[in-house]
Structure 1
Amino acid sequence: MGQINIVVERSLDAAPGRVLELVSDYVETRPQLLPADTTDYQVLAGGKGPGTRISYRWHATRKRIRDVAAEVTAPDAQTLVEADQNSTLRTVWRVLPEGAGSRVTVTTTWTGAGGVGGFFERTFAPIGVRKLWTAVLANLATRV
């Protein structure tokens, strides 16, 4: 078993405060950013920033579906952490100033399986996760 770490970044033409405002809006904005391979999205508690709890199903393939039940925290003013309560999956959103705009970094980590299954997970899961967050950031770029 080993740590799997996927990082996706994008520069946006908007102030960090505006970007973070959109990213931390789990009621209105977040459902609009998610691609079609993310289904059954729900806000279970809260809705804006820390204290929010969300759930969704992410369809990595037709047969591989991950159920996520995440709780949101904010360790600092530029960061949101979505910690899955069902697994070691963690997604960290970091929004920092970059020139006249922002740089958004989405980092997803989890402890992968061992053996042959772990080999395939380490090989193919990053492709799907990268595709998911690239689509979300592209959708976010159209909103700012």
Structure 2
Amino acid sequence: MAQVEVEARRVIAARPEEVYAALADYREVHPRLLPEEFTDYEVREGGQGAGTVIFLRLHATRKRVRECVLEISEPEERTLVETDRDSTLVTTWTITPDGGDDRCVARVRTVWEGSGGIGGFFERLFAPRVLKGVYERLLENLAAEAERGSPTAG
């Protein structure tokens, strides 16, 4: 089995702390950011940053649906880590300043141990492309949310 990795990033015209606060709000804002590939979203514990537990289904393809119970931690400033209780899937969100107080870079990176055999070959080939597109739409939604609420956004 080989590790599969997906990463996407976007520059957002809003203050890093505002973008991070939006992303860490798993009860109100986070569900609005999710593209249609995510369904059955449910906050099971908490709702704000570390200590939150969420459930969701990710529809990677018409036939492939992955159920996730994600535990949220905050190991560093402006970093959220979502760890699936039932698999090796780990998603890390980082928000970093980008040349001033009113811009930042939002990054999302997911890694997991892929399947073996021919199925694993196709997983490593196609899953990163599909998931990157999903993440790009999610980051677009995050940018729209943060820029709409930011007093520094033009």
Aligning the two structures, in what range does the TM-score lie when normalised by the shorter sequence?
A: over 0.9
Give the 3-state SS of the residue equivalent to 1:75 in structure 2. coil
**Who is 1:138 aligned against?**
140
Q: TM-score, normalised by structure 2?
A: 0.92
Deviation at 1:102, TM superposition (A): 0.4
Q: Distance in 1 between matches of 2:69 and 2:134?
A: 17
Query: Could you list the per-position Cα deviations for residues 35-85 of structure 1 after superposition, in whole angstroms to 9, with x for gaps in the alignment?
Result: 112100000000000000001001111110000100000111121000000
Indicate the SS of the match to 2:67.
Answer: strand
2:149 equivalent in structure 1: none
Q: Which runs of 5+ in 1 are unaligned?
A: none
CA displacement at 1:117 relative to structure 2: 0.6
Residues in 1 aligned to 2:135 and 2:51: alpha-carbon distance in whole angstroms = 22
The residue type paired with residue 90 of structure 1 is: V
Aligned residues: 144
What letter is aligned with 2:84? D
Equivalent AA in structure 2 for residue 13 of structure 1: A
Match of 1:129 among 121, 128, 131: 131
- In the alignment, what sits opposite 2:152? none
* Cα separation, 1, equivalents of 2:134 and 2:43: 19
Taking only the aligned residue pairs, the percentage that are identical comes to 44
Matching residue's letter, 1:43: V
Q: Which residue of 1 aligns with 2:32?
A: 32
Q: Aligned partner of 1:4: which letter? A: V
Counterpart in the other structure of 2:15: 15
* Structure (1 or 2) with the greater strand fraction: 1
Post-superposition, which runs of at least 4 consecutive aligned residues in structure 1 deviate over 3 A?
Answer: none
User: TM-score, normalising length from structure 1?
Assistant: 0.98
1:4 alignment counterpart: 4
DSSP-derived class of the 1:76 partner: coil
CA distance in 2, matches of 1:132, 1:82: 16
- The DSSP-based 3-state class of the residue aligned with 2:130 is helix
For the pair shown, which has the larger CA radius of gyration, 1 or 2? 2
Q: CA deviation at 1:126?
A: 0.5
Where 1:27 maps in the other structure, the secondary structure is coil
| SS in structure 1 at match of 2:75 | strand
Provide, for residues 95-119 of structure 1, a one-character-per-residue CA deviation record: whole Å limited to 9, x for no partner: 0000231001100000001110110
Question: Residue 36 of structure 1 aligns to a residue in which SS?
Answer: coil
3-state SS of paired residue (1:86): coil
